[in-house]
Structure 1
Amino acid sequence: MLSSLLSFITSALLVRDAIAWPSAPPAPFVQNVTVFVPPANWPDKGGSYARSVILNQNCEKGEPTILATAAYNAPDGQYFMIHKSTDYGVSWSELSKAYFSGNASLTGGIILQPFLYELAQPFGKYQPGTILLSGNRIPGDFSSTNIQLYASEDKGVSWEYVSTVAYGGPPDTDNGAPCVWEPFILAYDNQVNVYYSDQRDPAYGQKLAHQSSGDLRSWGDVVNDVAYANYTQRPGMITVAQIGNGKWMCSYEVGLWTDPVTGSNDSAPYATHYKIADSPLEFGSVSDNILKTPEGISSAGPYTVWTPAGGPSGTIVVSDSSYDQFFLNTQNGDPNSWKNVSSQGHGVGYTRSLSVLPGNGGKTVQVLNGGMYGSNMTIFSAGDFIVPGPLGHGPGAQGFPACQHNSGGYGHGWGWGSPWW
């Protein structure tokens, strides 16, 4: 059995090295380029929750197209402004406005917590290359919270309402208020899965859960991913990534968490926790870890990606909403192997997002910073972080992969399957 396994691994590595993956053109290093600044006549210029997607499911070649958005309270409607870059984030232009007006019973108000995702396989009428956009629609009378899904079949130029994944009561972060928050989208096992924070279950002040769909119209039962026996604890703001050993990691904050060593949460009031499972649909059955380095504990609004750069197992990169630094792990999430490093000047932001750019051996992680809730003025910016250590290998590290759609719903964001390790 062992000899057969070694033979298989050796053959896989030889195939990997023999594939002539397309090379990406040299990418410029982007340092805090402005994506958007609210106009002077906007009464509310605060922003947060930047998100982006790299389009790569229609056999693109050359320089990638990146779409980005963030949450702003625009005075002329309830929409997410979609920005576009075709030069690795050096410059940006407005592409469209995605109005969340598909449910006529919800008028006025705001939309929060966007997330962008590109389909790699068909779901219902939506073909590979369709872009999904989710957000939390809150009407003007603040009577409900609604995690809605919109779709673009023309690369972000126009948008249509698809469905409401989950809805709850008025927005209220007090335990017991039955509302929903913070969607995250991931296709896996021939389903689109939307993860979110859920306060509707009376057994928990807040839990993390997901619902799944094969057609984007109808959604299955609520499945718990993180739910603590301690009612007062509030896990929230989940993100999910596949890591170098093929397993899946989710990270999230835990509000009202208490450090068992100090008996307080002064150093990390929303301490970052994470789980690692064989499948992104099995987080509910595994225990969690706290993301801690010798310098301290990560706290609030984490966002996680994996890149093949940095070592044999690649690097897990985590951003949070409390620190300028990033948290890195080159040992497949081992709880004792986290270290924090400078983000190379990207500043603190409320749930900054991360994406690994194609090419450069996977060493370039693009950071989107939409600002902080409550700020009087926000500059929505994009910039790059260079992962320390050696270049990575595999399709995404060399540029866009060979032209094939990802039918299994796996991968690290470049449309390829199980990781090369």
Structure 2
Amino acid sequence: MRKKRKRSRHLILTAVLLLLGTTLAASEAGAAQRNVLYDKASTYPRILRLAHNGFANGRILTSIEGWSGKDGIGIIHQSTDGGRTFQRLSTIKDPEAANGRGICCGAFYELPQDVGSLEEGTLLWADTVGFNAPDAQRRTQLRLWASEDRGRSWSFVSTIATSPTSDPIWEPELEVAKDGSLVAFYSDESDKSHHDQKLVQVRSTDGVHWGGYRETVVNEQWSVRPGMASSLRLPDGTYLLAYEVCNNDPGHLCSVYTRTSADGWNYGDPHDLGTLVRTPDGKYARHTPTISWSPGPGQHGTVLLMSEILVKKDGSYAPGNGNTVLGNDHRGAGNWYEMPAPVPVDKPDNKQCKNFSPSIVASRDGRSATEVTTDLDGKVCKTYYGTGPLTPR
């Protein structure tokens, strides 16, 4: 009888462990579940997984922009359980964003190597400030901040760029080029006599002194607006740049394009608009693109692309609008395919907030991903997060 009881207990324990393992595996794969990251007004969520911070590697951090009274602030959250829960980690208080002067369009980046005195693993955050100042005083700035303790505290590093006119510059994006310089892309509206907006870049060898201003994407037609860059270094060492181009195609307004670079600085002829992102059945990604790398589901890895809106070939909203991640298993070349987004947003329509500039990071095995995006709760634009499987539709 004792042997039977022991065997019975063993079988029960085995069954429990198998069930627990199945549950944990399902949890790792992540059934999509939408959660509030920040229960107040916020914009431009960004997400990354630490990969150059030793014992802390694997932690997921997010950045958003919010407000404390009239002061614009950056807000950092952290997850130590794979994106299941997040805790507020720190606040960045930029004095140039105080008193209603405006804050926008933050970039969030982990240095993969030393840049000047900024060591590998340093977290960088760049904001856009000053665009709400009175006309006579308005000189929009892109300002760089750094954290050497994995996001717990922040210090000001430098001003990346200042608009030479009262027209703004926007939307910084950071990347380390092959030569070790820190590159910042941004949308530039300051050249109004020639272009409504163009995508440009500058670089720095130390994060403090910036130069080398050049056009990245520009068009002869004044009203065409390239902008909102997102950069990614691929495992083979090449670089992929995604961005939107507005006003060149009325049927597919602000479609997403890409281009590649061998060195992270030279992206070819700036007058070439690049390669249009499309699915085999002609769907287009529109507005606010962000890209990231995943080990899967592609056999050799997958580029993940998030955008605000997904439309059909004829420009009408697609069934997956607000609920789609686009994947590409060929380093951005050729067609893209659809996967369900971890955080569904109902019917985004380019009226700000709803799925505006979503961001995603893959799990370390590439089976799932965690997304942050914004949506309206009544009249409040809140940030949400969720984890879901990366499964082609």
Q: Same fold (TM over 0.5)?
A: yes
Aligned partner of 1:58 among 53, 57, 60: 53
Distance verdict in 2 for CA 1:245–1:375, change over 3 Å = farther
Aligned partner of 1:225 among 216, 219, 230: 216
Letter matched to residue 366 of structure 2: G
Which one scores higher on RCO, CA 8 angstroms, separation ≥ 6?
1
Q: Distance in 1 between matches of 2:237 and 2:145?
A: 30
Whether 1:271 and 2:266 are equivalent positions in the alignment is no
Q: Distance in 2 between matches of 1:123 and 1:334?
A: 30
Aligned partner of 1:382 among 361, 381, 385: 385
Q: Distance in 1 between matches of 2:330 and 2:122?
A: 34
Whether 1:281 and 2:265 are equivalent positions in the alignment is yes
The number of residues matched between the two structures is 338
- Contact residue 343 and residue 371 of structure 2 kept, 8 A: no
Aligned position for 1:174: none
Taking structure 1 as the reference length, what is the TM-score of the superposition?
0.73
Aligned position for 2:18: none
- Contact residue 244 and residue 332 of structure 1 kept, 8 A: no
Q: Distance in 2 between matches of 1:134 and 1:120?
A: 17
Identity of aligned residues (%): 23
Aligned position for 2:308: 321
Stretch of structure 1 that moved more, 88-97 or 236-245: 236-245
Q: CA deviation at 1:107?
A: 5.2
Aligned position for 2:352: none
| Structure 1 segment 10-409 matched on structure 2, within 5 A | 28=28, 29=30, 31-38=33-40, 45=41, 47-60=42-55, 64-75=58-69, 77-101=71-95, 108-138=100-130, 141-142=133-134, 143-168=138-163, 178-188=167-177, 189-201=179-191, 202-243=193-234, 246-258=237-249, 265-266=250-251, 268-285=252-269, 287=272, 288-293=274-279, 294-322=281-309, 323-324=321-322, 325-335=324-334, 337-347=335-345, 348=348, 349-358=355-364, 361-371=365-375, 376-388=379-391
Q: CA deviation at 1:383?
A: 1.5
Distance verdict in 2 for CA 1:375–1:167, change over 3 Å = farther
Report the secondary structure of 1:60's partner residue.
Answer: helix
- Contact residue 176 and residue 264 of structure 2 kept, 8 A: no
Taking structure 2 as the reference length, what is the TM-score of the superposition?
0.78
Letter matched to residue 187 of structure 1: V
Structure 2 gap ranges (5+): 1-23, 310-320, 349-354
Q: CA deviation at 1:36?
A: 1.1
- Contact residue 111 and residue 176 of structure 2 kept, 8 A: yes
Q: Distance in 2 between matches of 1:226 and 1:385?
A: 34
Distance verdict in 2 for CA 1:255–1:140, change over 3 Å = closer
Aligned position for 1:42: none
Structure 1 gap ranges (5+): 1-24, 39-44, 171-176, 259-264, 390-421
- Contact residue 207 and residue 226 of structure 1 kept, 8 A: yes
Higher percent of residues as strand: 2
Letter matched to residue 71 of structure 1: E
Distance verdict in 2 for CA 1:144–1:131, change over 3 Å = same
RMSD value over aligned CA atoms? 2.6
